[in-house]
Structure 1
Amino acid sequence: MMHALRTTTLCAAVAAVAALLAGCGSSVKLDDQAPVESRTGSGTTSTTPRAAATGPSGSSSVTPVTIPGGTVSAANLGRLVYFDFDSFTVKEDFRPLIESHAKVLATNKGKRMTIEGHTDERGGREYNLALGQKRAEAVAKSLALLGATDAQLEAVSFGKERPVVEGHDESSWAKNRRAELKDR
């Protein structure tokens, strides 16, 4: 009788641990390279890992983008890039913002920028630190592809430690899933 009780308790404990681990899992592989979108003149779009978009030395072979309309000042540009849940892919909506900051950095080689990656409160501390880092690196890679140098950029993560909005709903979480571009 005692042996059957121990076996039942052990099985229940193993099942509980398995359920807990399954609930903490994510389909996002944080070791993967951030996808980089490239467009050809024919209007087709392809997505490749960052390593495939760079030359042998790791530097970008993409020509910097020239934005018409005169001088762009970093002071009047937006500073936030938002992300989908459990994602570090930079959305097309933020392309103009990133292009503008890349132009400022490309024309001012002495200028430096820190990109801070943030997440919402869901998930473990370590996972969110890694996801925040991937978000910051994805924005930094986008800037580098458009003319900024790696020496001008620093990607750091704060994970879920610095929420911009306190709250436990989708609206709050969406505002906390971000990368902030800061001059240094």
Structure 2
Amino acid sequence: MNIKDFIRSIPDYPKKGILFRDITTLIKDEKVFSETINQIVERSKNYSFTKIAAIESRGFVFASAVSYILKKPFIMLRKKNKLPADVHSVNFELEYGTATIEVHKDSLDENDSVLIIDDLIATGGTAEAAAKLVEISKAKVSAFVFVINLFDLGGSDNLVKNNYNVENLIDFPGH
């Protein structure tokens, strides 16, 4: 089964010139979703980590299932003002704007090594912000796992150049 066949491409969303890769067509099929989770679990076995983090919101879909299977704590990296306790915050650039993500200050510490999971990497701004959040918390990034890599936008390559471990399940052009 090729999970790439289950990704829907939507032109000019959320704005003109963006080719959006939609994972809803993947997760609505229980066999394909299960295969995707199994592939993430297999890739994650290449790394040592104490916790799993995911980037809001589609990353939560995959990371929570992996967390359950691997019996590892799940840490949510959320959009600004979504977490109720004290947080670390990082501002970053998106392909189509700016954003802030946050993590509870008590979620991670110097004893943690973190696997970060997200549905997609494009330019890498969100992933780099996630790594900064982990590092501000004094934890270490073990690796990133992305379902989709938009290879021509360079985010995955930039993470590798910055000495992060990266696993991509499938590749698509971003345009």
TM-score (norm 2): 0.28
With a CA cutoff of 8 Å and minimum separation of 6, indicate the structure with the bigger relative contact order: 1
Bigger share in strand: 2
TM-score scaled by length of structure 1: 0.27
